[in-house]
Amino acid sequence: MALKTRITELLGIKHPVVQGGMMWVGRAELASAVSNAGGLGILTALTQPTPDDLRREIDRCRSMTDKPFGVNLTILPSVSPPPYAEYRKAIIDSGITIVETAGGKPQEHIDDFKAYGIKVLHKCTSVRHALSAERMGVDVISIDGFECAGHPGEDDVPGLVLIPAAADKVKVPMLASGGFGDGRGLAAALALGADGINMGTRFCATREAPIHENVKQFIVSNDERATNLIFRKFRNTGRVAKNSVSDKVIEISAAPGAEFKDIQPLVAGAKGRLALETGDLDAGLVWAGQVQGLIHDIPSCDELVDRIVTDAERIIRGRLGAMLEG
């Protein structure tokens, strides 16, 4: 079975299911498994310590799948930014045909990728940013609702409103992101005007995700309430799983006169990586969305994608079709 949408046609994939780029998680093991399952797997460029390491990871992914996969390049605010131009060159030189971008001021990156015929997916958390990215020439908008893991923006608009609001105005194909984890979500996303779904947290709880089993079980055991919104005070809101570290970040941030430097040691990326790789859930932040409440098992990527698409088709053809009279 397959659902044919503008996303499957544009990206050359069987199913309208995309694995979002995730720091420390978007490695060849996961990206190749998602692509082999008929979706679009995505490597995370900045997970690799150097552009040459990224080249090697792309080669490794190619050795594990002959299907399309992409690379995520996230532009982060930083006092000492990584060498984005060199990462970009590594992506282009490696013959990658699909890139997911995220973060602020992506024009330079979009222009360079488009000059080489690369299809660009850009993640946005508001309609105005989606329209801005569309004007920049991106091929796909990934619209991220408030439910998502990572940075949901500052508008707090959930997917049920944000997706159709964007679909009313955005002309390029659109992925719905944030809160998706099963066939009901895929069917709903298509009904709301999207052409597919982008999933992050759900793909963390798969057999091929290159993270510790403790973290996968943690996600399965959590419910939809088990997240914290951090960095709100600093207008860089992030949604993470609720653990002792994110609780402490909330507590420190609430103090009068609190500054980012007061929480910086707790939120370091290296500590988050330690949590994912060692399974010590109190070592650092674990980024996860409200969709945790819909995750009840740890299947293979192939089982997960097949289940989502099959269930979505059953809902569209069966349950919804049966409601039509005549």
pLDDT of residue 317: 92
> Do 22 and 122 reside in the same domain of the chain?
yes
Does any domain span residue 222?
no
Per-residue pLDDT of 261-319, as tens digits, reads 999 999 999 999 999 999 999 999 999 999 999 999 999 999 999 999 999 999 999 98
Specify whether 170 is located in the same domain as 283. Answer: no
Confidence of residue 320 (pLDDT cuts 50, 70, 90): confident
Q: Would residue 292 count as lying in a domain?
A: no
Residues 133-174 have pLDDT tens digits of: 999 999 999 999 999 999 999 999 999 999 999 999 999 999
pLDDT of amino acid 80: 81
Q: pTM score, two decimals?
A: 0.96
Q: Are residues 45 and 68 in the same domain?
A: yes
pLDDT digits (tens, 9 = 90+) for 69-112: 999 999 987 778 899 999 999 999 999 999 999 998 899 999 99
In a domain, 221, yes or no: no
One domain for residues 162 and 239: no
Residue 125 has pLDDT above 60, yes or no: yes
Q: Are residues 86 and 44 in the same domain?
A: yes
Do 280 and 153 lie in one domain? The reply is: no
Domain tally, the chain = 2
Classify residue 106: in a domain, yes or no.
yes
Strand 238-241 versus strand 227-230 pairing type: antiparallel
Does 78 map to a domain?
yes
The pLDDT score that the predictor gives to residue 326 is 57
Residues 139 and 163 in one domain: yes
Based on the domain organization, do 100 and 155 belong to the same domain?
yes
In this predicted structure, the answer to whether residue 1 has a pLDDT above a threshold of 90 is no
Residues 178 and 236 both lie in one domain? no
Looking at the structure, do residues 57 and 130 belong to the same domain, yes or no? yes
Q: Is residue 278 located within the same domain as residue 306? A: no
326 within a domain of the structure (yes/no)? no
Give 324's pLDDT tier (boundaries 50, 70, 90): confident
Domain encompassing residue 27: 6-209+297-321
Asked whether residue 157 is domain-assigned, the answer is: yes
216 domain residue, yes or no: no
Are residues 135 and 257 located together in one domain of the fold? no
CATH number of 95's domain: 3.20.20.70
pLDDT, mean over the chain: 96
